[in-house]
Amino acid sequence: MTDDDHRDERRRREHASSGGIGMTGRLEGRTALVTGAAAGIGRAIADRFVAEGARVVYADRDTAAADEAAAAANTAAAASTAAASAAATNGAATGAQLALAVTMDVASEDSVVAGFAAAADAGFAPDVVVANAGIQLFGHDAAVADVSLETWERTLAVNLTGTFLTVKHAVRSLLARGGGGSVICTGSPTGLNGEGATFAAYSSTKGGVHALVRSTAMAYAGHGIRVNTVVPGYTETGLVSTIAGDAEARAAIVSRTPLGRAGTPDDVTGIMVYLASDESSYATGAIFRVDGGMTSL
């Protein structure tokens, strides 16, 4: 793990030890699959879902990291359950498994199919899917005249094709269960405004994700399947620190954020819980911006 990953992990532990944000069991009875769940925003989403009572599939191409994340979530959930049970009955109890790790490379349809099958075989067929996995090839992505075809194709393979494959098989899985459910995709300000002028490949993929969400939402609304996008702004994770690793770069990004600060993964997880729950039963085809006002400029 990098120093930034360790910092993200410390934040998660501090968040859990303080009782989290409004942990009220809003997702009890839900099963979710989150891609890119081994680190960063994806892990924060998956951890928050577990804390809210959901059973969660931690899907990631990094098998070891996904295993570690799911194991940590199960340990935390068991400790919380045991403490609550001991307080209520003066005894100890162990909760059921709430987190499952599966290997999934979203750029490979075979891997996506295998991941959904593994989840279903383990009794974790999801009714909520978060298509969060993505890459940004810092140092290679650039303004359009300077982007190599290799960088373009790799970025599309993960960010747009990967989201398409995740959404495709999420919808198939939900239809096989009779419809209903929620699909949530992670977008970006770069797909909405000129913020990504020097990231032509990444910006294009995120614009494509936003369009995919709208078309899918309209196609399957009659089946009760809701599809929405969450757009995080500059969020402090190990990945994003790559473009803002020094104080000057960070200050420049924050200066374009009306709320005047960087976001945290916890800023994003709340809207994800809302969209995964029945609280958002009338929301589909929408873009939910959690960017400190960046895309309002």
Calpha distance 27→44 (Å, rounded): 15
Residue 188 annotated in active site: yes
Residue linked to tokens 């295993």: 67
Other CB atoms within 10 Å distance of the CB of residue 166: 26
Beta-bridged to residue 231, according to DSSP, are 289
Residue linked to tokens 């459910």: 181
What is the helix (H) or strand (E) element at residue 13, kind and residue range?
A: helix 3-17
Residue linked to tokens 């198939």: 172
Calpha distance 7→141 (Å, rounded): 26
Beta-bridged to residue 130, according to DSSP, are 34, 184
Q: Are 46 and 29 in contact (CB under 8 A)?
A: no
User: Would you tell me the crossing angle of helices 40-51 and 265-276 to the nearest 10 degrees?
Assistant: 50
Choice among 80, 111, 173, 188 that is catalytic: 188
Calpha distance 297→275 (Å, rounded): 25
Calpha distance 141→150 (Å, rounded): 10
Q: Are 217 and 273 in contact (CB under 8 A)?
A: no
Choice among 80, 206, 241, 274 that is catalytic: 206
Residue 206 annotated in active site: yes
Calpha distance 110→70 (Å, rounded): 22
Choice among 202, 220, 234, 274 that is catalytic: 202
Q: What radius of gyration, in Å, describes the C-alpha atoms of the chain?
A: 19
Active site (catalytic) residues: 188, 202, 206
